[in-house]
Chains A and B, each alone.
Chain A
Amino acid sequence: MRGSALGRRQARAGRLFVAPNLAAVLVFLLFPLGFSLYLSFHSWDLFSPPRFVGVANYRRLFADDPLFYIALRNTAVFTVFTLVPTVAVSLGVAGLLNRKMRGVGVFRTLAFLPLVASTVAMAVVFRFILASDDGPANILLGRLGLGPVPWLTDPGWAMVSLSLVTVWKSVPFATVILLAAMQGVPENLHEAARIDGAGGVRRFLSITVPLIRGALSFVFVITVINSVQAFDQAFALTGSNGGPETGTYVLGIMLFQNAFRFYEVGYASALAWVIFAILLGFTLIQQWLARRAESEL
């Protein structure tokens, strides 16, 4: 008898405590999710009522908009340019920071500093560093007898610069994740390998890396997700048009322009769902590969 009264009271409190949060998730997340799918099948300029157009928005994306393929290609290049260095560098840095040495704590603090830096502020700072012929980067290159490099004025180099800013910002996050995983690797495995005569690099590649596979694959997925959606740094580094020419015209910039500059809300929503589908597809493939790798062991 008392138990059920307690149960009822718990149930009432549970519902009450979840309610505000649930309302927020419904209104600001779940409803927008459904509404954006609805919008993607409509044409709407925000003024006249929305008009149902079927899959016309999607057809326009794939068949009629050359800019979509430019954005898609740029995003693919950008993703590779950020993913490869981020994974490689963060793996190396995490390995270094995992060593038990005097003063390694200080280096950890310094290496993780970019975690809190605003992406926009750093893009502005990099814009200064990479500024035309007499920016600090080119002055330094000049002393080495190199350059000047057209960092932000040549479309190809602008993509390199954009990737550079992004890698600077994303390496510390990946490093924290990998370092946390590395600290869970049992010490005795290293001891055993050391007795067998394996060197530091060998131990790192054959013991540490396979054992942090889960964290590594998480870093992969999160870096791709962030790269495919990148916007802040592109906007602050090379402007809202994805210039020079279409050098940094990525999917995030295309979405922003169509939605909030041209007010083509339906078209932009279709683009958003294509981006979502790409990310979902990538995540599923990655999961499948991870599971297959698991079963092979």
Chain B
Amino acid sequence: MKRRLTAGLFTYLALIVVAWCALTPILWSVSASLKSDGELLDTAPLPAHPQWSNYRAAFDAIPLARMLLNTVLYAACVTAGQVLFCSLAGYAFARLRFPGREVLFVGYLATLMVPLTVTVIPQFLLMRAFGWMDTPWSMIVPGLFGSAFGTYLMRQFFRTLPMELEEAAILDGCTPWQIFWRILLPHTRPAVMVLAILTWITVWNDFLWPLIMIQRNEYATATLGLVRLQGQYTTNWPLLMAAATILLLPLLLLYALAQRAFVRGIALSGLGGR
């Protein structure tokens, strides 16, 4: 009995250490973002006089509000496009018979293995050829019409829905579009949530693509803004931490709200990677 008690205590201690490791860097950025330059060297967790002006300074140093708005806009467009076109294609791969379906799907699976490293240079050249460098199009269009990964995710989910759902509708002569839109799509809410959240997070946190696409601040994303800010103010840590916190907090809130769907999404997406 006593041994079990010590074991339990030990487990809680270990769990606290794990939580501490996960949380501390984030909390540190929040606390440093509220400190004055003089307080920075003080390791007290909370500043005596929170300097909210650091946030004002971050918004003044670069057009951060504009960059956040851009990020939201890009993420919203790409997410909407991914959800629509991936669920359409996923439905077709799961439920509709058409010539070449199996071959095509195997091809889709194979493309999941292609790393970003190999495709990023030609994608850059493609955007340049289209004249989309330094425009919002380069941030939106490549993801707008869906992806192999999203289609795979949605197909797997559509396959789990029972055939009985649509049988009556087929007998009544509904078109495939009606079956998809009115009958099946409402049942895929969990999968759609997962795909939407994963897509939103990917776009929000993306860095390499905006870095090579966008020069002008008026089209830049928040990640780009943070790195440009870092280049200018390496020593103004409170200001930099304020900017980092602004980038981190919205997704942490989203995570708090949709934690279940999110963790499930990661476990599911583990099947395919990026």
Contacts and interface: CB of A to CB of B under 8 A. Distances in A.
A and B pair up: yes
Interface of A: 6-7, 9-15, 17-18, 20-25, 27-33, 35-36, 39, 46, 92-93, 96-97, 99, 101, 104, 107-122, 124-129, 131, 134, 136, 139-140, 168, 172-173, 176-177, 180, 200, 215, 218, 222, 225, 229, 231-232, 235-236, 252, 255-256, 259-260, 265, 268-269, 272-273, 275-276, 279-280, 283
A122 B175 CA distance: 49
Contact of B118 (A108, A122, A140, A272): A272
Contact of B122 (A36, A101, A115): A36
24 contacts: A9-B175, A10-B97, A12-B98, A18-B89, A21-B151, A25-B108, A29-B114, A32-B123, A36-B119, A113-B252, A117-B205, A119-B205, A121-B226, A122-B248, A124-B244, A128-B28, A128-B29, A129-B28, A180-B267, A229-B116, A231-B208, A255-B117, A259-B120, A265-B125
Contact of A14 (B22, B92, B204, B223): B92
Contact of A30 (B32, B111, B176, B180): B111
What is the predominant secondary structure among interface residues of chain B facing chain A? helix
Contacts of B251: 116-118
B148 A276 contact: no
Interface of B: 7-8, 11-12, 14-15, 18-19, 21-23, 25-26, 28-29, 32, 41, 43, 85-86, 88-89, 91-93, 96-99, 101, 104, 108, 111, 113-126, 128, 142, 144-148, 151, 170, 175-177, 180, 201, 204-205, 207-208, 211-212, 223, 226-227, 230, 237, 240-241, 243-244, 247-248, 251-252, 254-256, 259, 262-263, 266-267, 270, 273
A166 B256 CA distance: 23
B154 to A, nearest CB: 10
A10 B174 CA distance: 11
Contacts of A28: 119, 123, 126, 142
Contacts of A30: 111
A280 B114 CA distance: 9
A115 B99 CA distance: 40
A136 B180 CA distance: 55
Contacts of A10: 96-98, 176
A229 B267 CA distance: 22
7 residue pairs, one from A and one from B, having the closest CB atoms: A14-B98, A32-B122, A13-B176, A24-B145, A14-B96, A21-B89, A21-B146
Given A118-B248, A121-B226, A269 B121 contact: yes
B205 A118 contact: yes
Nearest to A231: B208
A109 B124 CA distance: 38
B222 to A, nearest CB: 9
A107 B226 contact: no
B266 A177 contact: yes
A276 B121 CA distance: 13
A125 B246 CA distance: 12
Contacts of A177: 266-267, 270
A122 B251 CA distance: 13
Contacts of A125: 25-26, 28-29, 241, 244
B121 A272 contact: yes
Given A21-B88, A272-B121, A33 B114 contact: yes
A260 to B, nearest CB: 5
Contacts of B230: 124, 127, 236
Contact of B8 (A46, A101, A129, A215): A101
B23 A110 contact: yes
Contact of B104 (A18, A92, A225): A18
A106 to B, nearest CB: 8
